[in-house]
A and B are shown apart, each in its own frame.
Chain A
Amino acid sequence: MIDSLERRPLVAEVLGERGDALVVAGLGSPTWDLFAAGDRPENLYTWGGMGLALPTALGLALAVPERRVLCITGDGEIMMGIGSLAVVANQAPENLAILVLDNESFGETGQQRGLTAGPTDIAAIAAGAGISATMTVRAGNQVADLAQFLFAAVGPRLAVAKIALTEEPWALPEKDGATIARRFREAIMGAPRTTDR
């Protein structure tokens, strides 16, 4: 059963503790949530590539081990690439944290029932994949602990937030992938050199 945890205030409260963390959001609602919480160059928005938010965050975390990387994604999105949890566990990046916004539905496409509405438990899958630090959040008074969990301890770690199935107002960020990528990359690396080599 899902109680009244709402995605937008939850994401905003968690990101209030982000410091200089880099955030990769899964397609659809998590990307809108990230943008609604405040546009920043350290945000990587995605509008496609379903199942690739976590692998992308992993590659990033391995490339910049000195920066905290947070992947915020949906239950449907992460289930499409669920094997990535095993890849993450094996690479064991200490700077990577994952927040799954679990509304037990494919919210974006018409609120169809998702697999986590049944017996499937993403935190348990993560533990089985070898990510030993997991947490499941169901109530508003756990959100401060959630932020601590995601930003203040050694990764890799995964939290599932069981959220209400809601329809939020549109909050659509930049859509052009090259623009999003260039801005994000420059926020990490500074202005481009004449050659990438």
Chain B
Amino acid sequence: MTKLGPSAEIDWSNDVFREMKAREISLVATVPDGGLTRLLNMCEDDHATRVVTLTTEPEGVGVCIGAWLGGKKSLLAMQSSGVGNCINALGMPATMRAPCLMLVAMRGQWGEFNPWQVPMGGATRPALEAIGVRCFDVDAPNRIGETFAAAADLAFHGGFATAVLIGQRAIGAKGFGRDD
């Protein structure tokens, strides 16, 4: 059964999924984050979308580049801590001028209860920018869909690595008090 989160998560997940479909993004590579649950469940339930569960996030960079070389569009969805795992891998889309679209659920910022998430949460955007990824912060749930669309179009039309950083404020109180 799909477990539903708060209504804001339902809404923005629907928005992102719709923008994925509009662009024929048919593969999602992921190490999951709690904030992405609803979206990932929608992808799992959709026969036209393949979910590639990874052991570590940089694999997703390779999977997305390989899929693009073969003519398919894909998305790498992960938690902000996973960005730290990806840095050398992200040299590959930069060198190849290959699109690499990322959706990052931020941790370690708005009201974080787990101090282990804080260092990488603070380093996520600077690290991505240091390796040439164009970053789009979004804190308002009703803007996540359009922000995702903008990042996707920049990636696939321009051949850029782009990342939508969904603020912990938008992901909401869901994670608070839980040790994930």
Q: Is the CB of B67 within 8 A of A49?
A: no
Q: Is the CB of A52 within 8 A of B58?
A: yes
Q: Is the CB of B97 within 8 A of A177?
A: yes
Which stretch of B6-14, B87-95, B102-110, B136-144 is in the interface? B87-95
- B47: which A residues are within 8 A, CB to CB? none
User: Which residue from chain B places its CB closest to the CB of A67 in the assembled complex?
Assistant: B70
Interface: B65 (CB within 8 A): yes
- A197: which B residues are within 8 A, CB to CB? 23, 156-157
A177 to B91, CA, bound (A): 10
User: Which residue from chain A places its CB closest to the CB of B155 in the assembled complex?
Assistant: A196
Interface: A90 (CB within 8 A): yes
Q: Is the CB of B62 within 8 A of A62?
A: no
Q: Is the CB of B59 within 8 A of A83?
A: yes
Which stretch of B34-42, B48-56, B116-124, B162-170 is in the interface? B48-56
Nearest chain A CB to B92 CB, angstrom units: 4
Q: Is the CB of B72 within 8 A of A63?
A: yes
Q: Is the CB of A90 within 8 A of B96?
A: no
- B56: which A residues are within 8 A, CB to CB? 81, 83
- A178: which B residues are within 8 A, CB to CB? 95-97, 159
Nearest chain B CB to A15 CB, angstrom units: 19
Chain A, range 6-27, C-beta contacts under 8 Å to B: 24
Interface: B177 (CB within 8 A): no
Chain B, range 66-105, C-beta contacts under 8 Å to A: 66-72, 74, 88-89, 91-92, 95-99
- Name the one of A53, A86, A184 contacting B69, with C-beta atoms under 8 angstroms: A184
Chain A, range 176-197, C-beta contacts under 8 Å to B: 176-178, 180-181, 184-185, 188-189, 195-197
Q: Is the CB of A60 within 8 A of B95?
A: no
Q: Is the CB of B53 within 8 A of A87?
A: yes
- B16: which A residues are within 8 A, CB to CB? none
Interface: B145 (CB within 8 A): no
- A196: which B residues are within 8 A, CB to CB? 99, 156-157
Interface: A58 (CB within 8 A): yes
Question: Would you mind naming 29 contact pairs between A and B with Cβ atoms under 8 Å apart?
Answer: A48-B88, A49-B88, A49-B89, A52-B58, A52-B59, A54-B62, A55-B62, A55-B63, A56-B65, A56-B92, A58-B66, A59-B52, A59-B70, A60-B69, A62-B67, A63-B66, A63-B71, A64-B70, A83-B56, A87-B63, A91-B50, A176-B95, A177-B97, A178-B159, A181-B98, A185-B71, A188-B70, A188-B71, A197-B23
